[in-house]
Amino acid sequence: MARRPRSSGPDLFDVEEKIVDIDVQEEMQGAYLEYAYSVIYSRAIPDARDGLKPVQRRILFGMHELGLRPDKGHVKCSRVVGEVMGKYHPHGDGAIYDAMVRMAQPFTMRLPLVDGHGNFGSLDDGPAASRYTEARPAPAALLMTGSLDEETVDFVPNYDEQLMQPEVLPAAFPNLLVNGASGIAVGMATNMAPHNLGEVIGAARHLIAHPDATLDDLMRFVPGPDLPLGGRIVGLDGIRDAYESGRGSFRTRATARIENVTPRRKGIVVTELPYLVGAEKVIEKVKQLVQSKKLQGISDINDLTDRSKGLHLVIEVKNGFNPDAVLEQLYKLTPMEESFGINNVALVEGQPRTLGLRELLQVYVDFRTDVVRRRTAYRLRRRQERLHLVEGLLIAILDIDEVIQLIRSSDDAAAARERLMQVFDLSELQANYILELQLRRLTKFSRIELESERDELQREIERLTALLEDHELLLALVSDELAEVAKEHGTPRRTVLLESAGVTASAAASTPMEVPDDPCWVLLSSTGLLARTSTDEPLGTGGARRKHDAIVSRVRTTARGDVGLVTSTGRLVRLSALELPTLPPTNGAPTLSGGAPLAAFVDLPAGEQPLALCTLTGDGPGLALGTRNGVVKRVNPDYPGNKDSFEVISLKDGDSVVGAVELTTGEEDLVFITSEASLLHFSASGVRPQGRSGGGMAGIKLPAGVSVVGFWAVDPEAENVVVTVAGSAGVRPGTEAGSVKVTPYAEYPAKGRATGGVRCHRFLRGEDALMVGWAGSTPPMAASANGVAVELPPATGKRDGSGTPAKAPIARVAAG
């Protein structure tokens, strides 16, 4: 096979080498400085004038160039990202989309610049991909790009010098202070907190009106940051340092309150978290601390956040722990309290500077004043140009016939233009405009319109000229425009500013984590509400009585102790005082309006009624029980400690307990009151104590069809009264007023046990039974079925007399 002849060209290896020695240290320094310069000026640090980083500015300008508006439909985010990446920002699409997402997040920006549609993420999760989400400019974005086409700012070439992009946006509001900024550059970083739009604009307007305003003057308008999701800022000294020097720090604290998450358990409800802290971050940290036993007193944590009520984080506190102390531990150990470091670094005339509040406002005011001046000059020039054309057109319309004849007799357009300029003394622009004139404009009405437009243009030119010639007028216009922005886009402050949390922290430090086992009273109201007092002070009887204040049973115990509840079926149910809501201290009678319903602590079957409270200590003479069929029993207080519910009497079929009283001396009088209005009382010492399985003994002798309506124990040495309420046997107690009578207890003679007793109430017409019977110390208190107090008549001396009409239906009577 023939071989291809070798090329006769130059030898590729026959070249002259030229090696340049470069100092690596100098090369690295130069390259690193270029990199640092690029990061500082092209990525991380915002401009102090419009408060935007280059990528944010290019996103807004790209959406402006695409013709997107808040009143038009959303477009795919990937379309905006592609537009910005291809024309203005030659970096990765991920960086552009991340910046776009941040501008749409209401929990990041105090005044979002992008209106997002779709999943733009949360504090705990990232956004969906750009191909799934849609966006359009928010109303605030129009304030940033408004008057962009009126030569208000300089334009610079894009990265390949084929297009032009704004060096800075006109920014009709101080975006840097309102939305804040964060970024990490090379050798420096910026971290600026968001503020309230109305407050910042108020400070800017004050600075315009008073150029020598001090920092204290401006802080009357801007007392501190206003975070997007609210929360609380604790300690204002660091804020003042930041406003003065550009560097400082403050603590942000979650907004939380302590409330009853269940009737028997308190909890901490968190409705606002610190800036950029998500609920999942708090939940994860709390669980970690609980598992490591560094945080005690928490039984459960639930995130009940939804769209209707917003953030709702419920932290349940274990019984026996002080919720205030637990909350302080949460502030100390979890992200529910975070520190925010302010570092106000921004670009001013191309140089990174650390700025205080006054400097930031001054830079913006100067920039905005220049924008308005350039816009005014542009508008003045355009109106002067228009006036020039209108005046030329008016000249032509006055001699329209001659103008038409001149044009028709000309050889071409150039000749016609020259003759118009010579004959009517017109400029070249006016002549060209006349030649392009449509014949429909040559009407009488068009002349009137032109004259009106000329007058309006002259007035507008005078106004714009005055603005350019008078700096004070220009500043007043800037101030008025800022006020209009605040009126249209301003929102109320969301973040609460607290001078210091030192008092709260000190108080919490002295508060024990666990609830102390202090003595207290456990109370049961006539409507079935349970509560405990904060102290064991004697219960008062004074003051106005409110709904649910009729206390039918009370027992002294400790905050961490147990009490018993006796029911109508002869059961005793154990209750923990620690689980009951605590009543605030009061000088008069305690009110149970803040109590919890009995059903939250005890599941009673239908038909089983709560009767009274008792102690479970095993001391004293024990309980005295009276049944519907007239049986009486004294119970030995040998209650089992390992059972939550047990029987204290064996009842026969059809019988039920109607009264249960804890004896104090064993020498009390036991009182039976029957439905036929008989009363029997005898000494408790004549009743032999029995065990829990005993069935009791005969207490009162009952005729056929008669039942016991009340069983009580009274101190025979005290001043006692008997209250009886008569009515019809066919109605339920508390549904019919009937008649009521109050009689001194001393009027009733004692009888032996198992006898019939004496009459205690004479029935009126329409009455055939006693509905309520009560005996005890004065003064008694009557209550309706819903717990409202009912006034009782004064005591009468007739034991067998009739009653007086009750002012309202009476369901229960209790010791006042």
Name the residue type at position 403: V
Is residue 769 classed exposed, middle or buried when 0-12, 13-18 and 19+ CB atoms within 10 A define those classes?
A: buried
Burial string for 698-709 (b: 16+ CB within 10 Å, else e) reads ebbbbeeebbbb
Give the integer Cα–Cα distance in Å for 746 and 740: 18
Residue 457: DSSP 8-state: H
In contact, 782 and 810? CB cutoff 8 Å: yes
Asked if 210 and 217 count as a contact pair (C-beta separation under 8 A), the reply is yes
Phi, psi of 693 (to 5 degrees): -90, -5
CB 793 within 8 A of CB 810: no
For the chain, give me the number of helices (H) and strands (E)?
A: 18, 42
In this structure, are residues 99 and 59 in contact, taking their beta carbons and an 8 Å threshold? yes
Place of tokens 């007399």: 801
Report the SS3 class of residue 94.
helix
- Identify the residue whose tokens are 């605040």: 486
- Cβ contacts of residue 103 below 8 Å, gap of 6+? 56, 59, 109, 112, 113, 114
Structure tokens, 108: 């990041």
Radius of gyration of the chain (CA): 44
Residue 477, number of CB atoms within 10 A of its CB:
16
Please pick, among 41, 132, 275, 378, the residue that the annotation labels catalytic. Answer: 132
Residue 496's H or E segment, with its range, is strand 496-498
d(CA 373, CA 354): 27
Contact 48, 346 (CB under 8 A): yes
Count of C-beta atoms within a 10 Å radius of residue 548: 22
Ramachandran sector of residue 51 (left: φ over 0; alpha: ψ -120 to 50; beta: rest): left
Is the CB of residue 533 less than 8 Å from the CB of residue 580?
A: no
The C-alpha atoms of residue 813 and residue 792 are separated, in whole angstroms, by 10
Longest CA–CA span in the chain (Å) reads: 150
C-beta separation of 146 from 91 below 8 A = no
**555: part of which helix (H) or strand (E)?**
strand 551-558
Distance CA 471, CA 715 (A): 94
Q: Taking the chain, what is the end-to-end CA distance rounded to the nearest angstrom?
A: 129
Q: What is the distance of C-alpha 796 from the center of its chain?
A: 58
What gap in Å lies between CA 285 and CA 332, rounded to an integer?
12
Alpha-carbon dihedral of residues 165, 170, 175, 177, nearest 10 degrees? 110
DSSP string, 128-193: PPTTT-EEEE-HHHHHHHTTTTTT-S-EEE-TTSSSEEESS---SS-HHHHH-EEEE-SS-EEEE-
59 token code pair:
């996103």
3-state class of 54 per DSSP?
helix
132 catalytically annotated: yes
DSSP letter, residue 307:
T
* 3-state secondary structure at position 578: helix
Beta bridge partners of 575: 563
For 533, other C-beta atoms within 10 Å of its C-beta total: 23
Bridge partners (DSSP) of residue 115 are 136
Q: Which residues are annotated as catalytic?
A: 132
